[in-house]
Each structure stands twice: as C-alpha cells, then as structure tokens.
C-alpha cells in the first residue's frame, strides 16, 4: 500500500530523530515540509538552497536509509524550494533538486509553482482559540495597565516588530488573559490571513506530551513553527517541565528569528520564574515585560460601569461606590459580586440596597474563602513543608518547624478572616494572640525582604487555592 506523503515523511523523521541531537534535528529537518508523492519520489519543500546543501552534505546517509526503508529501494527525495530574489509572485519559476540515493543531485525547473498556496505558507485552517468577547474596547485603561494595553494595541497593528516577546505578568484576575486575547482578536482584524493561536501553557504541555505518546512530535512542531503569532497564557506552568521547555525554546527561537510575534503571560516577573531554564528566561527579556497591578478606585469604578452596560444592568450609584470601596484586589471578584447582586435582587426579589450589597460581598468572599477549616490549612501546610504537625502545634523553634507554623498561621488568618487571633491560637495548642500576631508579621516581613521565601509562599498559596476550589 502506498502511504501518503505526510506519513512517509513523518516516519522518515522518526527514524532520523534518534541519530541526531534535538537542536540539529530542529534546525535541519523541521523546516522541511512534505508536499506530495510522485510514484516512489517524495517531494518536500525546503526554505532555501543553503539548507538543502548542508543537509545533503551532513545527513545524506541517514536520509537515504530512512527514505529507502519507508518507500523501498527505488525511493527518492526531491526538494522544491523558493528563490526569494524573484520579483513577481506569479511568474515564478522554482528549481527542484532531486536527491537520488546514489548521491547524484540534479536540478530541474518546475513551473506553475506558486509559493502562496504551499502548505506552511498559506493560512492554515486552524482555530485560533480566541474568545471574541475580549477586546481592547472593553478593556478599561488605567494606570495599572496602561503600558500593557498600549503595547498590545501597537503589536496588533504591527506584529513582530517592537515588543517581541511581549510578556504580561501579575496576579490573577487583573486582566492578563483578557488583554492577550484582545491582541489576538485585534490583530486578526488587521491581518485576517495571519495564523494566530492562543493557548495556555498547560494545554501546550498536554499537546506536546500527547504528541510524544503518539509519535507525532513532528506534526506538533510543524504546526507551531508555521504560526505568525503565538500567544501562550500562564507560562509559569512550564516550571519544572524540561521537555516542554526544550521544545518551546526551539519554537521561540524559530518564531523570533522569522520575526513572528510571541505574546506570553505569567503570574510573576520573568526573573522570578522558578524552575524555568535560564536560556529561556533570558529570551523572555529580549522584548518587553510589563506588569498589571490592582486597579485604583477610579479604574474599578470605570470597569464596573462598563461591565454593567455590557450586561444591560443598572445599579444605584451608591452601591457601585460601596463595591468599589470594599473590593480592591481583583477584577474577577468585582464581576462576581455584580452578578451575585443581580441574581439576589431578581431571583429573591430583594431590594438593591447597601444592605444587600454588604451581604453579597460577605457571602461571596465567604464562599471563596471559608470552605476550609484552620485544621485543614495547618495539615496542608505541614504536608507542603514536610514537617511534623505535632511539632508545629508545639513549642519547637527549629527553623523549618517554626517557619511552617508561621506560614500556617498566616494563611489561616488570610483565608479565615472571621476567626479571632485567639481562635487561631487554639489550633496551635492554645497560643495567645500576640504569638499569632507575631507569626503573621514575621511572614509579612520576610516576604518583603526574601524573594525566595516570597516565591515559596506564593507557590503554597496557589496549591492551597486549588485545594480550596476542589472542595
């Protein structure tokens, strides 16, 4: 049975891959794209003559072996490539170089070869994964996000030029995902022909793992290498995943070299990313990294008003004011409150007043925060810090034990704000309120002065939040 060109080429690559290091493989073989089979001849597209010459010089033996084992003794490989000095797109003549297993190479002309319909060059049939509701228009600008928004607008108009990569970082709920998707959406309006992908680092990793499992890493790479704009959300997720980092490193280099735009988000500044290879972090510094911070009162107000208009909701000014004054950190929460408020008033027929707003805010934060007990937090932290829970409850002042105690108290205070200091003390064998206060302060101070401690606490908090969400 004759196999199709893609399968043949993938099988050849599969064989070749093992006898080369990843970098050489990426450099010399990934740029080749299978076009078609003509009898026992496989035709691949090569970006230029230089690459083909080097390829033949260095890899003819393994190529020949691969081609023969896939197609048979008569198997041949032809390269078709584009001469970039052509001035007219259509009166274009491209040479084809034939590589015989006997090592002879000849060049024959091919007419009617239109580079604009070649796979890999044409617009791919892909789903960009963009949510059309995220736009620049409905992203309210304030001093907390001005630079990020403006850089985004610039990129959408002129990708790959000024800020490459663009990295947006900051805490959850501050608009990173909204903004990078707005870049994608706006860019596609200006350049509908461009191949744009939005994905999360988690999804990217999963896809890569699947491709390894299914022996389809070539397809994976080819797909991503063919993009014009790559948007990856939450790259902190790549921490510790060295295989995915490796593939991403090559992808990054490839796209960047071709002037393709890369946009990334992260929950922290690039230099604070943990367990991400230095060479990758260094690349991140090539472009612009900018943070999103919590919105000030006026921006919160403008966001709430815009969200209400969007949803066709009207809230009394006093209530808007009340919400803005009471919820400072995160815009997702702000949205959640408005929705709960409307639900309460319409479903339960309650009057939309400050009292209801107060209640909703209280319930909302309670729902997010109160579903875990102090005991559970303590257990969780002890597990994370790998220390004995009884020691933490006791009086030991040993470094790791005392640290776990401080961190547990800190999180209990943070997540269970309805508990008094004395009540928290009860979880720790009846410690008095000043001891508890001391622990909270100790964590606050150390987070301000010790970056690695800060990172540790943040890491734990993320896991803790996940744990709470799961409950």
Stated length of the chain: 471
Tell me the window of 88-96, 174-182, 210-218, 337-345 that interacts with ligand ADP (CB under 6 A). Answer: 174-182
One residue of 177, 218, 403, 408 binding Mg ion per CB under 5 A? 177
Cα 140 from Cα 145, distance rounded (Å) = 9
Task: Find the angle CA(92)-CA(119)-CA(9) to the nearest 5 degrees.
Answer: 115
One residue of 99, 145, 221, 266 binding ligand ADP per CB under 6 A? 145
HSE-up (13 A, CA, CB side) for residue 299: 20
Could you give the strand order of the β-sheet that contains 261-266, starting from the edge strand earlier in sequence? 196-200, 229-233, 261-266, 166-169, 288-291
Q: Does 290 bind ligand ADP (CB under 6 A)?
A: no
Ranked by CB distance to ligand ADP, the top (closest) residue is 175
Q: Does 177 bind ligand ADP (CB under 6 A)?
A: yes
Q: Does 173 bind ligand ADP (CB under 6 A)?
A: yes
Q: Which of residues 315-334 bind ligand ADP (CB under 6 A)?
A: 331-332
CB of 284 to ligand ADP, least distance (A): 18
Cα distances from 270 to residues 139, 239, 240, in angstroms, run 24, 12, 15
Tell me the window of 1-9, 23-31, 175-183, 369-377 that interacts with ligand ADP (CB under 6 A). Answer: 175-183
Q: Does 303 bind ligand ADP (CB under 6 A)?
A: yes
Interface with Mg ion (CB under 5 A), residue total: 2
Q: Does 335 bind ligand ADP (CB under 6 A)?
A: yes
CA 311 to chain centre: 29
Cα 471 from Cα 469, distance rounded (Å) = 5
Cα distances from 458 to residues 171, 268, 357, 407, in angstroms, run 10, 10, 30, 11
Which partner from the list Mg ion, ligand ADP, none does 266 bind, CB cut-off 5 to 8 Å by kind? none
Give the torsion sign (CA, 18, 19, 23, 29).
negative
Q: Does 446 bind Mg ion (CB under 5 A)?
A: no
What is the enclosing helix (H) or strand (E) of 81?
strand 76-81
CB of 239 to ligand ADP, least distance (A): 17
Q: Which is nearer to Mg ion, 160 or 173 (CB)?
A: 173
Question: Which residues are at the interface with Mg ion (CB under 5 A)?
Answer: 176-177
Which chain residues interact with ligand ADP by CB under 6 A? 138-140, 145, 172-178, 303, 331-332, 335
């Amino acid at each position: 049975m004759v196999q199709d060109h893609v399968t043949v080429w993938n099988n050849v690559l599969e064989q070749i891959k093992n006898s080369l290091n990843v970098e050489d493989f990426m450099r010399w073989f990934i740029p080749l794209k299978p076009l078609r089979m003509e009898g026992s001849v496989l035709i691949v597209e090569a970006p230029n003559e230089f690459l083909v010459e080097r390829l033949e010089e260095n890899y003819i033996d393994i190529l020949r072996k691969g081609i023969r084992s896939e197609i048979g003794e008569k198997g041949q490989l032809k390269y078709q490539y584009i001469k970039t000095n052509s001035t007219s797109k259509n009166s274009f003549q491209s040479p084809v170089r034939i590589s015989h297993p006997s090592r002879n190479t000849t060049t024959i002309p091919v007419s009617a070869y239109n580079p604009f319909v070649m796979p890999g060059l044409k617009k791919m049939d892909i789903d960009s994964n963009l949510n059309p509701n995220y736009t620049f228009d409905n992203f309210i600008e304030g001093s907390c996000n001005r630079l990020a928004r403006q850089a985004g607008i610039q990129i959408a108009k002129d990708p790959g030029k000024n800020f490459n990569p663009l990295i947006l970082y900051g805490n959850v709920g501050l608009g990173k995902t909204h903004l990078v998707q707005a870049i994608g959406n706006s860019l596609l309006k200006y350049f509908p022909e461009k191949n744009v992908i939005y994905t999360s680092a988690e999804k990217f990793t999963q896809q890569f793992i699947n491709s390894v499992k299914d022996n389809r890493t070539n397809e994976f790479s080819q797909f991503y290498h063919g993009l014009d704009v790559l948007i990856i959300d939450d790259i902190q997720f790549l921490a510790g995943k060295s295989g995915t980092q490796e593939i991403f490193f090559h992808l990054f280099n490839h796209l960047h070299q071709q002037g393709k735009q890369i946009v990334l988000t992260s929950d922290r500044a690039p230099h604070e990313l943990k367990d991400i290879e230095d060479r990758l972090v260094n690349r991140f510094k090539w472009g612009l990294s900018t943070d999103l911070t919590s919105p000030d009162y006026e921006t919160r107000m403008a966001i709430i008003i815009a969200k209400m208009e969007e949803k066709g909701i009207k809230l009394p000014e006093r209530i808007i004011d009340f919400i803005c004054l009471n919820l400072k950190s995160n815009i997702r929460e702000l949205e959640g409150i408005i929705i709960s408020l409307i639900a309460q008033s319409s479903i339960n027929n309650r009057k939309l007043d400050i009292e209801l707003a107060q209640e909703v805010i209280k319930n909302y934060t309670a729902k997010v925060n109160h579903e875990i007990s102090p005991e559970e937090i303590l257990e969780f932290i002890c597990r994370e810090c790998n220390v004995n829970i009884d020691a933490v409850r006791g009086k030991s002042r040993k470094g790791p034990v005392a640290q776990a105690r401080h961190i547990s108290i800190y999180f209990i205070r943070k997540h269970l704000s309805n508990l008094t200091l004395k009540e928290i003390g009860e979880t720790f064998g009846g410690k008095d309120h000043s001891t508890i206060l001391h622990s909270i302060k100790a964590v606050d101070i150390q987070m301000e002065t010790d970056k690695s401690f800060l990172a540790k606490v943040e890491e734990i908090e993320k896991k803790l939040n996940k744990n709470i969400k799961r409950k």
